[in-house]
Structure 1
Amino acid sequence: MKPELSLHGRTLQLQRYPVRQNETLQAWDAADEYLINYVSENYDALDPDRPILLMNDSFGALGCWYSQYGKVVSVTDSFIAKQATLANLNANQLDEVTLSDCLAALPDAPQLVLLKLPKNNRLLSWQLRQLCQSLPAGTMVIAAAKAKEIHTSTLKLFEKYLGDTKTSLAVKKARLIFCQVNPELSQPLPAPLEWQVQEHGLTLTNHANVFSGESLDIGARFFLEHLPADNRYEKIVDLGCGNGVIGIKAAQLNPDAKIVCVDESFMAAASCRHNANINLSDPSQLTAVVNNCLEGMPADDTDLVLCNPPFHQQNTITDHIAWQMFCDARHVLRQGGKLWVIGNRHLGYNDKLKRLFGNVTVVAQNNKFVIYQSTKS
């Protein structure tokens, strides 16, 4: 597949991040093209000195396109999206853009606001409230997604939290949402959700984009029941940590070990940090890191990696993230170090682990989940 986005006499070379050989997925979609075409056809010349606000630009296609038209501020909860944007800007020799996470303040009075729908409605609701608080009355917010992802309930969220809403016709199975800001709908941003895991004595909080936002998911609950305690552990990594519950429990079971919790979501890392502060007697035992898996981390210095891999990237179902997690885990483990992986039984992680490590055993299983262990030889 040629990584070329060609519209209106311009061509951009765009890659997903990290770059993989024989990539079959584009770094943009029909919704990105629809936004670019609509703005090109309906907006006069943009002011290069005024902000352009982009939200949830998955791999930087919009950031690259608009970098020459104004002061782009691209807001994302994804470390991978940030790295993709930086790489694609550099590859196309384009001006820098300001990259911001979802917990930061928005720019004043942007001339253009483009939003790609996140797959999580809790994040969408949070962002719509943030926009309503920040934008001047009458500002038009243009959102985009695949038509099948825009439901009546989606439009009701725009009406509830931002203002009057209408939609476009579908083009290439994508659709636009037009919403005019009504400041009378403005309300305070919600506090992170909080709940108890009584059987483990934990209090957990989640920001809006963290997986399983209102309760402990059943996979994590099963993993918690089987986490190891070993006084020989010096360093434990919780890879794909979410709100940090696995790493925090590992810290309690292994008080002499240093715990590193890693996620590509800024909201996840912030939730993990807060949860460590309120649940650990020594919060400095745990470090929360935002990263693309274990990229750039030192080799051969970790005793145990705990991993609950996602099987999607943005809205695309894929197993390449799990494979990257397993490869990165093998890289950072010491000789004799162990990778523990939990997954749905049907995902077949045992085959990948056997191929990579040469060994795999089952630690525990129930009718839905399996916990595997592989040892670095």
Structure 2
Amino acid sequence: MTFLLDDLRRWPDLEGPDLQASDAADRLLLDESKDARRASSAADIVVIGDNYGALTLRSASEALPTAGQLIRVHQDALTGERALAANAARLGLAATFTSEPLGPDLVRGAKLVLLRLPRSLDALRDIAGLIAMDAAPDVTVFAGGRIKYMTVAMNDVLREHFTTVDVTHARQKSRVLIARGPHSGRAPLPQQATHDGLVVCAFGGAFAGTSIDIGTRLLLEQLPATLPHDGAVIDLACGTGVVAATLAKRTPPRSVIACDQSAIAVSSARATAEANGLANAVTVVQDDMLASQPDAAASLIALNPPFHVGAAISEEIAPRMFADAARVLQPGGELYTVWNSVLKYRASLERLVGPTRQLARNAKFTVTVSKRR
């Protein structure tokens, strides 16, 4: 079975006329890898970084049919994973792949890897090292992306783990790197740095890495020194878990839930909690906003919302998070939010959560607290 890439949807991620479920880099990756895919069984194919299913489902529709063998897939974003599942079900390809965490089982014995290049060199280094460590010796990696997000340094990172790296001709502002001859494999390990006694851990690609970005610093300064005695305390869009770890140390000692839709963020936040002796105090979950949390369960939520959808700046993400925070907050519960001041989120916070007051503002960021009606 084949299908048109235009049939793919982004749901449950944001959708709109300017937000497509596939792009020119997907098409070029598929064209460059066509012969290799058609000569491979599904069990030999691994897809990493597929946005909404273009690479996985086209590969599944064309791979050599072998009963019981599945393409292995890893996507960092939970919304991407759910979009892939929804697209596969709608197109009759639900039983053709399995979603896996970024680890040895994902790439073990793989002979063909299709990779959407991450923007972070550290993330690419983690992925390339893992492939070189556990994939088949004759593995071929097709790594593609939009040229505006690619750098020559990506070739150098791949050469750290592969003998040859070839570069395809550009097409529609996209390009593919082809790597062969794996060597010097290694498992991904988080980097660490200490800030004011807090150890911050970050796997490659985590927002802000092992630093604490200025927005989060401003938020930390405004969080209450004493926490509510009742109700859940949640770090929404937790990133590396800096806010969750800080809250878990406050008075009285409280368990904190840290959640993020990014697998890299979740792994980093777990590592941060463990490095600070807080593994039993911080529960880290991968979640689409707060979907797994019950209504009216939290007394305090801290949020540093993202404002990008892929490469595009979007003001639609944060209001969805505000609405979900309002659902999960108890009446009288508080949402502490830091946001880029130019985005002017206060009206949305007032409308979706409740009375909102400014706690701090610097040259770039604003911190507010909103009380649930």
Give the structure-2-normalised TM-score. Answer: 0.90
Match of 1:162 in 2: 162
Structure-1 separation of matches of 2:284 and 2:316: 23
Structure 2 residue 261 is matched with structure 1 residue 267: no
How many residues align? The count is 364
Aligned with 1:53: secondary structure?
strand
Q: Which residue of 2 aligns with 1:148?
A: 148
1:103 counterpart letter in structure 2:
G
Q: Is 1:289–2:282 an aligned residue pair? A: no
**Alpha carbons 2:43, 2:72 under 8 Å: kept:** no
8 A contact 1:248–1:286 mirrored in 2: yes
Q: Which residue of 2 aligns with 1:89?
A: 88
- Tell me whether 12-21 or 248-257 shows the greater mean CA deviation: 12-21
Deviation at 1:22, TM superposition (A): 4.6
Q: How big is the shift at 1:104? A: 4.4
Residues 163, 310 of structure 1: alpha-carbon distance in 2 compared, 3 angstrom cutoff: farther
CA distance in 2, matches of 1:110, 1:278: 33
**Matched residue, 1:204:** 200
1:203 match: secondary structure: strand
TM-superposed CA distance for 1:190, in Å, is 5.3
Residue in structure 2 matched with residue 63 of structure 1 by the alignment: 56
In structure 1, the gaps of 5 or more residues are 1-7
1:7-156 aligned within 5 A: 10-11=3-4, 13-18=7-12, 20=14, 22=16, 24-40=18-34, 42-43=35-36, 45-48=38-41, 50-68=43-61, 69=63, 71-94=70-93, 95-156=95-156
Match 2:357 to one of 351, 361, 371: 361
Work out whether residues 306 and 341 of structure 1, in 8 Å CA contact, stay in contact via their aligned partners in 2.
yes
Partner of 1:347: 343
Which segment drifts farther, 230-239 or 80-89? 230-239
Matched-pair identity in %: 28
TM-align CA RMSD: 2.2
| CA distance in structure 2 between the aligned counterparts of 1:104 and 1:17, rounded to whole angstroms | 29
Cα–Cα, structure 1 residues 25 and 187, in superposed 2: closer, same or farther, change >3 Å?
A: same
2:111, 2:138 within 8 Å by CA — same for their partners in 1?
no
The Cα of 1:270 is off from its aligned counterpart by 2.3
Deviation at 1:55, TM superposition (A): 0.9
Structure 2: any 5+ residue segments left out of the alignment?
A: 65-69
In the aligned structure 2, how far is the partner of 1:231 from the partner of 1:332?
A: 15
**d(CA) in 1 for partners of 2:152 and 2:129?**
18
Report the counterpart of residue 299 of structure 1 in structure 2.
295
- 2 CA distance for matches of 1:109 and 1:15? 31
Q: Distance in 1 between matches of 2:182 and 2:232?
A: 51
CA distance in 1, matches of 2:87, 2:251: 42
Q: 2:252 aligns with which of 248, 252, 255?
A: 255
Aligned twin of 1:193: 191
Q: TM-score, normalised by structure 1?
A: 0.89
